[in-house]
């Protein structure tokens, strides 16, 4: 079985959104959108990985795959809920009305029908795809309620003995919306209300509404919110919200943040960890497939799990304590990190910079800036430089460097910039306070960095 440490990556071929993220019977389960045959998006399955600590992951196979009419062209994104000791998976089944003649994994002109299904597993190990699936919300035919094609990504939660489901959708292909359903048994669902808004793009994917520190936070992935001309026009956003559970009325604060300012992260999903913290995981989109010798080519990985907290009306995405605990070895001053991921801690001043194997980080005009142009060459249509909003003179950085991903946590998660990179050099240079590594440290080298 394929294992990953720290970042969950595709076990070969293609992955996208995290699905069914849950702490269940002593393990974290992270399912993911998975195309098992090639490193491209196609007919979706749910791959399944398990971890004791959110750091060491083991891929344990395919949990969901198409078996019935409603999901014959894919098991799209969804969530997990523990109910009476069992594990419920909720997901979107899609059925294409027309496929490309040469590639049945691709739908023509968005001619698809979506419905919402569930499957209950007794133990989180066995998933009866042949007889265990139930359609819980059939294709919505009333346009005012939903969209028959683009209604997807159920997120279910329990509140005061009732169950709620948020679904992403579009109003006439022009405005994103969230549909709210309620149920007393997590099986029979009744439509209650919806929230529409221009900040939800032309269509909303992967809605998530949850309470943290007494406040509701809404996270979603609106489509087409960035200008034309870039490949990624869909981006995950986050905002404070109010939710009246009685009427399922959501109101959202006008101010919103990006979940991540590196613009590669997408489709976040949250759930509670073992200790009741609200934790977010998300897909890191990769424009190029990685072809390492001896490995099946792979595309797609997850960001580090992040603890969501709200302080003074702002959402923070902080390093998870389990990630913290992994980095046990301090690299001696003057040496550079050995093989494997490493963590750099530093505080910069205006004008100071870091060069991490060609990936640049610096402070300018009160923002933390990053530039990946040296480690992202030859890839068209993607942004190369990124910046946080203004930071009021405070630039404490906590960086996590893995082979294809650099995550820059600024001021304890006030903002995060995460960037996919290709071909990072094995040097670090600039104003660095500390470097830390985990259990696998194989080689030490002389290093230029100033301590």
| Count of residues that interact with ligand FRU, criterion CB under 6 A | 13
* Contact track, ligand FRU, 70-89, x by CB under 6 A: ------xx------------
Q: CA 387 to CA 292: how far, in whole Å? A: 31
Name the residue nearer to ligand FRU (CB basis): 104 or 333: 104
17, 273, 355, 403: which one contacts ligand FRU (CB under 6 A)? 17
CB of 76 to ligand FRU, least distance (A): 3
CB of 77 to ligand FRU, least distance (A): 3
Q: Residue 424: how many CA atoms within 13 Å on its side-chain side?
A: 25
Residues numbered 21 to 50 that lie near ligand FRU (CB under 6 A) are 33, 44
CB of 16 to ligand FRU, least distance (A): 5
**List of residues 6+ apart from 269 with CB closer than 8 A:** 17, 18, 19, 21, 77, 79, 155, 206, 208, 280, 281, 282
13, 16, 88, 270: which one contacts ligand FRU (CB under 6 A)? 16
Residues numbered 109 to 168 that lie near ligand FRU (CB under 6 A) are 152-153
**List of residues 6+ apart from 240 with CB closer than 8 A:** 215, 216, 217, 218, 252, 253, 255, 310, 313, 315
With binding defined as CB under 6 A, does residue 92 bind ligand FRU?
yes
Element (H, E) at 210: strand 204-212
Residues numbered 185 to 204 that lie near ligand FRU (CB under 6 A) are none
71, 147, 205, 355: which one contacts ligand FRU (CB under 6 A)? 205
Name the residue nearer to ligand FRU (CB basis): 64 or 206: 206
**8 A C-beta contact, residue 13 and residue 298:** yes
Please list, residue by residue across 171-187, b when 16 or more beta carbons sit within 10 angstroms of its beta carbon and e when fewer do. beeebbbbbbbbbeebe
CB of 221 to ligand FRU, least distance (A): 6
* Contact track, ligand FRU, 287-326, x by CB under 6 A: ----------------------------------------
Q: What are phi and psi of 71, to 5 degrees?
A: -120, 25
CB of 179 to ligand FRU, least distance (A): 14
Name the residue nearer to ligand FRU (CB basis): 269 or 388: 269
Q: Hey, is 321 helix, strand or coil?
A: helix
CB of 266 to ligand FRU, least distance (A): 6
Name the residue nearer to ligand FRU (CB basis): 206 or 363: 206
Residue 78, Cβ neighbours under 10 Å: how many? Answer: 31
Element (H, E) at 79: strand 75-83
CB of 33 to ligand FRU, least distance (A): 4
CB of 103 to ligand FRU, least distance (A): 16
With binding defined as CB under 6 A, does residue 208 bind ligand FRU?
no
Name the residue nearer to ligand FRU (CB basis): 17 or 355: 17
CB of 223 to ligand FRU, least distance (A): 8
The token pair that represents 48 in the structure block: 């399944």
Q: CA 297 to CA 289: how far, in whole Å? A: 6
In whole angstroms, how large is the CA radius of gyration of the chain?
Answer: 22
**List of residues 6+ apart from 365 with CB closer than 8 A:** 390
Residues numbered 251 to 290 that lie near ligand FRU (CB under 6 A) are 266-267
Q: CA 388 to CA 367: how far, in whole Å? A: 5
Residues of this chain that bind ligand FRU (CB under 6 A) = 16-17, 33, 44, 76-77, 92, 152-153, 205-206, 266-267
């Amino acid at each position: 079985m394929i294992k990953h440490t720290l970042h969950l990556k595709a076990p070969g071929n293609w992955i996208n959104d995290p699905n069914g993220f849950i702490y269940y019977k002593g393990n974290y389960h992270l399912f993911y959108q998975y195309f098992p045959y090639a490193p491209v998006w196609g007919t979706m399955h749910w791959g399944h990985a398990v971890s004791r600590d959110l750091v060491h992951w083991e891929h344990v196979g395919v949990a969901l795959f198409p078996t019935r009419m409603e999901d014959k062209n894919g098991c799209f994104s969804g969530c997990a809920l523990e109910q009476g000791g069992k594990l419920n998976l909720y997901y979107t089944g899609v059925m294409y009305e027309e496929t490309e003649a040469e590639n049945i994994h691709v739908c023509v002109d968005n001619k698809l029908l979506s419905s919402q299904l569930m499957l209950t597993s007794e133990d989180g190990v066995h998933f009866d795809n042949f007889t265990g699936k139930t359609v819980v919300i059939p294709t919505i035919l009333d346009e005012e309620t939903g969209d028959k094609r683009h209604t997807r990504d159920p997120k279910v939660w329990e509140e005061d003995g009732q169950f709620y489901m948020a679904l992403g959708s579009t109003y006439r292909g022009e405005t994103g919306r969230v549909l709210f359903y309620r149920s007393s048994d997590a099986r029979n669902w009744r439509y209650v209300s919806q929230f529409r808004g221009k900040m939800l793009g032309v269509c909303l994917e992967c809605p998530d509404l949850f309470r943290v520190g007494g406040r509701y936070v809404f996270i979603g992935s609106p489509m087409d919110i960035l200008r034309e001309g870039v490949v990624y026009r869909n981006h995950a956003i986050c905002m404070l919200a109010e939710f009246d559970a009685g009427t399922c009325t959501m109101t959202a604060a006008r101010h919103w943040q990006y979940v991540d300012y590196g613009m590669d992260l997408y489709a976040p999903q949250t759930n509670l960890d073992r200790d009741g913290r609200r934790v977010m995981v998300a897909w890191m989109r990769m424009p190029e497939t990685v072809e390492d010798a001896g490995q099946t080519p792979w595309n797609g990985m997850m960001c580090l799990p992040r603890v969501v907290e709200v302080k003074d009306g702002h959402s923070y995405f902080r390093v998870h304590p389990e990630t913290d605990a992994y980095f046990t070895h301090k690299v001696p001053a003057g040496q550079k990190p050995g093989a494997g991921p490493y963590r750099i801690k530093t505080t910069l001043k205006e004008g100071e910079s870091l060069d991490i194997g060609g990936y640049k980080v610096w402070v300018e005009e009160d923002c933390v800036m990053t530039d990946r142009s040296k480690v992202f060459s030859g890839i068209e249509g993607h942004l190369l430089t990124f910046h946080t909003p203004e930071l009021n003179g405070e630039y404490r950085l906590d960086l996590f460097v893995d082979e294809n991903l650099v995550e820059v946590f600024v001021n304890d998660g006030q903002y995060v910039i995460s960037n996919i990179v290709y071909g990072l050099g094995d040097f670090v240079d600039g104003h660095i306070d500390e470097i830390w590594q985990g259990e696998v440290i194989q080689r030490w080298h002389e290093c230029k960095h100033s301590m």
